[in-house]
Structure 1
């Protein structure tokens, strides 16, 4: 520490206003009047330089500072760090040690933070040893920095150990360790820490509410949000956005409107993250117009805001509005393109999916995993094998061939297109398989008639992985057992669904078992199973039972089933269609006409059957009695010619 006296300095220094009240200048020398006052004034001056990012000027002043001590060294280290110069800050710390200046707890906080930013674990451990040597291992601020350092480098156990060894903890300590469990996905431990916290701030509350929302536990998220308000904690914008997202998941409109009113009241109506959440809320509750009002009020819209509004329009079936908005986006991101692709996919407009995808490629935007998965799903629904193979080639070109989501989509696409060999080939080459991957392959084998292979793969999954069967896998297994006559085995899987797999059978599982029993001639058992159902049977369950009655001549059961179908016809469109088919199979055509007329009078419609062919990489769809095709007359002419030639061939043979 310098005493009052004479120090040689550059001429530009003493001209600065900071020196005028504290000193006088004689012959280019500064006469220091008050050492301590001037030292504090000098530190304040340098801190301002660091704050405004004037790194070179700040370091120039630091090097010529006549009052260098641990505080000035720490200020310089912190200044370099705050300006993103992590390595320089470490170098300055080492220089400080070489001069024999011992660091304090504030110095160590900055140095540990620099190690975290550089993700240098070895250096961090060296600093930690010095921390212990100098006796700062119990300093609260430093321990908080060490926990953050450990988390940044993925050393979860070390972070937990530092926290547990702390003699004193502040709200930051508790919040940081809470974030640890949240990041690990261990919500049970996170909640335990949260409940034990002696003091909670808005960050702690927000972390818990956000995590509950992310995992889909929206009810607990809202309950926690209400507790937060009752405790007098004002939610920040992040917390409000999470609460609104939770309400969107619950489709809870009125509480969402209440929060919306509060957001306007506190002046956060223009916050893009809150606005995006509000748009999603109104879209989830079937109010896209209200979502658009929120969207139009946002002044500085970001990509998330644009994409959320497009998704809202798409999910509510307003695809024209979605496309208009999409065309207005100033800078289209990958999320913007994906919003349109997924929108068309959700609304079964598969040709539009390909159109948007092609436009995306022409624009120079690189597809991501989500894009490719959506396009492959469209290929699967159209059973467009050629397009699917083309997308498969692009996955290699883009480097996504080992991605689990893309691989699963390829397995599903090939299976639905009937190319089970390629489906198995992709599945076997996958380096990582998740629950959906196994489901797609098991289901694909079952639906393509490879029931035995489907059952073998299911057994392999149970033996070699920790994946537990889900509803879809067990449905595929029941389907496989039904179509290869393994009735007892199918009944075994059905009976152990709830006690062993903890899955309650739904209507589709019951329908599959009814079909399995009916196919094997155990029609009375199938009828008993339908009667024992706790939920209402599907129309298809009755159809399967009636089909079994016709095959095996069970007239009494058939009569009861037909009566039930007639009763069902008053409730569902599917019942009328099934009843009409029953009358048609029995040759009762007047009853068929009567049933169809009744459907028309009640405004009920059966979805039209659709066929399609792929010509030159373009899918052409044909609906019954659809006259929208421009080449309809030409097509009908060709069909008449084909019909004539077939009749001639038949007569000649």
Structure 2
């Protein structure tokens, strides 16, 4: 500001009056927009002293400045200098009233004007449209004697602002029929209407008109055409429009950035971003959002820091993206810093950023802080409710999640899915099915995510009947061939023991990804179809572009282990790192140990455990111990159980190893050692985890544990068991004789 005033003092108004007035106008505009009242009033005093404050150009700038500051006394003084009615001054006052939101006063002043011009009518029409008073705006437009391109464009833009896209196109057509030539702003508004209506054929037809009126190189029009092309899915057309532009602004570059982002070409998008001569909040937000959505949260955070250091103010979209990135990183400190910044700029109560904040706190395990954010949101929508319900579910607070769900004013499929996924994560599979039944009774249509969760519950319960029923519902909705549902069905049938149906679903899938191939391989391996598992693995390598993963190799090694295919197992195990660059993990080594142990090659199994380049897991020693029991190798069993006790921290794992050792001693007739081990089990109060069985009767799942008396009908169950035992014993006696 000081430099601007200094440059003003260097200009002699008598010899360079035009330059002096232009500089004054520029400085006054800056004072107005920046709110520099003291500097503006000082400059006004200087202009009075110089005797040029009554110049009409300067007087209008002074009037606008005081109107912007809402200083009524100063406004009236300026109006006195105009000496009564002045058309330009009245137009300025009416525009100021609209900016204040005082629409009725603006209309009153317009009606009292003794004279009006094109600016007066266009300003009123645009102002009324801006505040949603469409009917009044139409009425004034129809009475407008100056129906030029500006007023027609004001009407079109007003309809677009209020979501009346079809009416906007009708007005545009009528405008052309009246012989009014559209300008760049007109076409920009019409293209927005086409996008809103998804009238892409109409939008494409505008290209010839744009060329006809010589606006094909207009920056705003080209920017709108790039957006239209993206919405039509014509990426190449958008790229061509950008390449042919003679002049580009920051919006042009940002629009082209959108092109690269939509195509998923993040490397090229980043190159374009780095080449941009000028960036705005939208271009920064576009890049940050895409990195956050693609899972590269660290890069999103890096860009955000650069943006803030560059003096750019993050918008709601940008803040939402960076909060999501901090949730992905589970970085509570970062999330709190961003939350603090939002509080400073007064955005903490905005629902658009409130939901990601809730998600961030809940993913960091801070559900109380998430609830505080939820309670602070002034106008909650279904997304914010769902975020809080999901947060409670994620942290196992199912009672709180259900209580909030019951209070939810309006539910959608995501609301139901939040509760269902909570019970699924906490392995309450019967509750998953119960909530799903309520969802169907409510009339809400399940989506793919819902069915995927329900099928996962059915798979965990091995409830084939329920799973088939769900499959029928999926077929009715026609979504059975979606890759994630096909994968869920494959897994459900496999875990329910119906490998044939699992294979049929897998074969009918039009698209197979890494997860679906893994599900099929695991299904065959775990159900003993070793050779078929290997055949499917070879088929995947031969016919698809999917690269084998660690889980796939685990399934192949598991299949080989349970069928004694030692040579094939070693071939695949060695190819992991040599061919695919995958370093075997603990579970892969355990599989190989189990394979050798089951095959009776105990010494090789023990040597392999010792050769593992990291700490072996307890299961590797447990597999060797189990094989020692099978092949009656007491010496190795004693060494193995010592190692197992050192590694196994869980009570059940230690207990199981003691039991196995006692069995080995018993099979060798070393009864004194058996008694010692049994005594140790009692002294250490070790207890092996009891088995669990379940059965589904009339859509209800019943669980039974070893020596369990908690079931509501336990007494009846034991009575039947006693009856069965009484029938079984005589049969055994007869068989002996």
Give the TM-score taking structure 1 as reference length: 0.89
CA distance in 1, matches of 2:285, 2:484: 31
Residue 444 of structure 1 deviates from its aligned partner by 0.9
Equivalent residue number for residue 623 of structure 2: 544
CA distance in 1, matches of 2:154, 2:373: 45
CA distance in 2, matches of 1:48, 1:278: 36
CA distance in 2, matches of 1:200, 1:66: 42
Equivalent residue number for residue 376 of structure 1: 455
The question of whether the paired residues in 2 share the 8 Å contact of 1:178 and 1:204 is answered with yes
1:647 aligns with 2:729: yes
1:579 aligns with 2:657: yes
- Match among 686, 706, 709 for residue 627 of structure 1: 709
CA distance in 1, matches of 2:370, 2:224: 42
Residue 154 of structure 1 deviates from its aligned partner by 0.5
Q: For 1:351-398, what per-residue CA distance to the aligned partner results, in whole angstroms no more than 9, with x for missing partners?
A: 111111111122222211111111110010010111111111221233
Check 1:73–1:295 CA distance in 2 against 1; reply closer, same or farther (3 A cut): closer
Equivalent residue number for residue 18 of structure 1: 110
The question of whether the paired residues in 2 share the 8 Å contact of 1:89 and 1:111 is answered with yes
The question of whether the paired residues in 2 share the 8 Å contact of 1:22 and 1:38 is answered with no
CA distance in 1, matches of 2:204, 2:385: 45
Equivalent residue number for residue 205 of structure 2: 126
Q: For 1:155-180, what per-residue CA distance to the aligned partner results, in whole angstroms no more than 9, with x for missing partners?
A: 11111222222232222122222222
Check 1:190–1:581 CA distance in 2 against 1; reply closer, same or farther (3 A cut): farther
1:116 aligns with 2:188: no
The question of whether the paired residues in 2 share the 8 Å contact of 1:576 and 1:595 is answered with no
Give the TM-score taking structure 2 as reference length: 0.79
CA distance in 2, matches of 1:138, 1:598: 89
The question of whether the paired residues in 1 share the 8 Å contact of 2:638 and 2:661 is answered with no
Equivalent residue number for residue 214 of structure 2: 135
CA distance in 1, matches of 2:395, 2:689: 20
- Match among 328, 336, 348 for residue 269 of structure 1: 348
Equivalent residue number for residue 504 of structure 2: 425
Residue 446 of structure 1 deviates from its aligned partner by 1.6
Highest RCO, 1 vs 2 (Cα 8 Å, sep ≥ 6): 1
Q: For 1:75-114, what per-residue CA distance to the aligned partner results, in whole angstroms no more than 9, with x for missing partners?
A: 2333333343434433443443444433222222223333
Unaligned segments of structure 1, at least 5 residues? 1-14, 24-36
Residue 201 of structure 1 deviates from its aligned partner by 2.0
Check 1:611–1:401 CA distance in 2 against 1; reply closer, same or farther (3 A cut): same
The question of whether the paired residues in 1 share the 8 Å contact of 2:117 and 2:146 is answered with no
Residue 598 of structure 1 deviates from its aligned partner by 6.5
Bigger helix fraction: 2
**Range moving further from structure 2, 352-361 or 157-166:** 157-166
CA distance in 1, matches of 2:141, 2:159: 12
CA distance in 1, matches of 2:201, 2:443: 42
CA distance in 2, matches of 1:125, 1:268: 39
The question of whether the paired residues in 2 share the 8 Å contact of 1:583 and 1:591 is answered with no
Q: State how many pairs are aligned.
A: 622
CA distance in 2, matches of 1:356, 1:431: 31
Check 1:390–1:148 CA distance in 2 against 1; reply closer, same or farther (3 A cut): same
**Range moving further from structure 2, 192-201 or 410-419:** 192-201
Secondary structure at the counterpart of residue 409 of structure 1: helix
After superposition, residues 366-445 of structure 1 pair within 5 angstroms as: 366-445=445-524
- Match among 144, 149, 169 for residue 90 of structure 1: 169
Unaligned segments of structure 2, at least 5 residues? 1-106, 667-672
Check 1:336–1:85 CA distance in 2 against 1; reply closer, same or farther (3 A cut): closer
- Match among 163, 185, 191 for residue 106 of structure 1: 185
Residue 16 of structure 1 deviates from its aligned partner by 7.2
Equivalent residue number for residue 358 of structure 1: 437
Secondary structure at the counterpart of residue 500 of structure 1: helix
1:304 aligns with 2:386: no
After superposition, residues 3-402 of structure 1 pair within 5 angstroms as: 18-23=110-115, 38-55=117-134, 57-402=136-481
Secondary structure at the counterpart of residue 634 of structure 1: helix
